[in-house]
Amino acid sequence: MENFENHIHPNLNLSKHPVVVHVRCPDCFKQYGVQVSEITESKPRFECLDCKTQFWIAFPEVLEQKEVIGFPVNWLNTPGQRILDESSSAVKMSREVPDVVAPIKESEKDIKDSGPISPEPQGSPSSSTKKEGLRFSVDLDPTVDFQESKKALAEFPCPKCEGLNPGGTKECRHCGVLIEVFKLRLKEGRFTLANPPSRPVVTAWEQVIGDYANTKGHQNFVDLAVRLGQSTYAIGKYKSLLEVYPGDELAEKMIAQLAVLSVHHSLGTEEARKAQKEREPLPAVKKSKVSFSFVIVMLSIVIISLGYFVPNLRNLMGIGVSLLFITLALRYHFKLIR
């Protein structure tokens, strides 16, 4: 094998670039690692082991990116059809991440068999090379918009709200959930939505993620969550961040602040409820239609009547008169009873 630096880009200094380039399959988004020293062409092609999709990358442009998504082979600037034979010297990708793999290369025999590729006139049928074994034929569509196809290929739906997100997004830009953590919890059956967050709180969290270093945004999110009684949701969001980025000082600080503010908020709410209850007027006591003095007067009259009509109970007349006198005195003179 020829030296890579002399084969394609003799002026390229590999010491200034990473040894491994991280590439994702455009169909299933599985991540692989490619040894830069193994690339011997400007558009190396690969085949995913999971979905068998064949794709390519642009070299050396990929060296400036931390991670790229491969392009389908039908985006290659080659008119007509392209046939890939399984007998070509292709090294497939392995299943571990990061993987160190070599790009697919056509053998000299395949190149001789296929012959030189010349552009065909527009409207003529695409040609393909007949070969034994497995064939992979792709018709190029000149009407496909490269940028739109790339955008549609890179987007994937959120597992929670089904909103589309760009490839490689860790947090859904629609509902704010951490996608990988949500998938893990959903798989383990630990995720519940007993207290779904309100839209203002979700919007505040999206602003926090958009400018994570801005402490004012964090403070606004915390204050809003506490005021709306959704401290549990806010604490859960920061804990989810700690699961992905352990030891984040800002997240730990916000969790401690939320715990304190939620306790004060609950105590303040309880005290306000008690104060409101104290300010409410006591219910009026219903007055009895029959007063106490009226009952005593009637009892005194009954006692006097018994003493008057029963000779043996003459003494009751004195008791009844005394009781009647005392009752009237307490009611009208001293105003002690009603």
pTM, 2 dp: 0.29
More confident position, 109 or 235:
235
Quote the CA–CA distance of 153 and 169 in Å, as a whole number.
14
Residues 141 and 229 in one domain: no
Once rounded to an integer, what is the mean pLDDT over residues 322-335? 81
Quote the CA–CA distance of 124 and 185 in Å, as a whole number.
54
Once rounded to an integer, what is the mean pLDDT over residues 305-324? 86
Once rounded to an integer, what is the mean pLDDT over residues 180-201? 64
Residue 166 lies in a domain: no
Q: Provide the pLDDT for residue 162.
A: 66
In this predicted structure, the answer to whether residue 143 has a pLDDT above a threshold of 50 is: no
Residues 214 and 260 in one domain: yes
Once rounded to an integer, what is the mean pLDDT over residues 191-217? 79
Mind listing the pLDDT tens digit for each residue in 206-229? 888 888 888 898 999 998 888 888
Bridge partners (DSSP) of residue 72 are: 55
- The confidence band for 338, taking pLDDT boundaries of 50, 70 and 90, is low
Residue 273 lies in a domain: yes
What interhelical angle do 199-210 and 215-227 show, nearest 10? 170
Residue 77 lies in a domain: yes
Residues 93 and 12 in one domain: yes
Residues 245 and 304 in one domain: no
Domain span at 315: 292-333
Mind listing the pLDDT tens digit for each residue in 153-179? 467 777 767 677 787 778 888 777 777
Q: Which DSSP symbol is given to 290?
A: S
Average pLDDT, the chain: 69
Residue 188 lies in a domain: no
Q: Provide the pLDDT for residue 263.
A: 74
Residues 61 and 110 in one domain: yes
Domain count, the chain: 3
Quickly count: other Cβ atoms within 10 Å of residue 301's Cβ: 13
Residues 225 and 309 in one domain: no
Residue 184 lies in a domain: no
Q: Which segment, 11-20, 123-132, 142-151, 196-205, is predicted with the most confidence on average? A: 196-205
In this predicted structure, the answer to whether residue 135 has a pLDDT above a threshold of 80 is: no
In this predicted structure, the answer to whether residue 1 has a pLDDT above a threshold of 70 is: no
Residue 275 lies in a domain: yes
* Nearest CA among 239, 232, 237, 245 for reference residue 217: 237
In this predicted structure, the answer to whether residue 95 has a pLDDT above a threshold of 80 is: no
Which tokens is 28 given? 């299933």
Residues 145 and 36 in one domain: yes
Residues 77 and 100 in one domain: yes
CA angle 149, 34, 95 (to 5 degrees): 85
The CA-atom distances, in angstroms, between 304 and each of 193, 307, 324 are 79, 5, 9
The number of residues making up the chain comes to 338
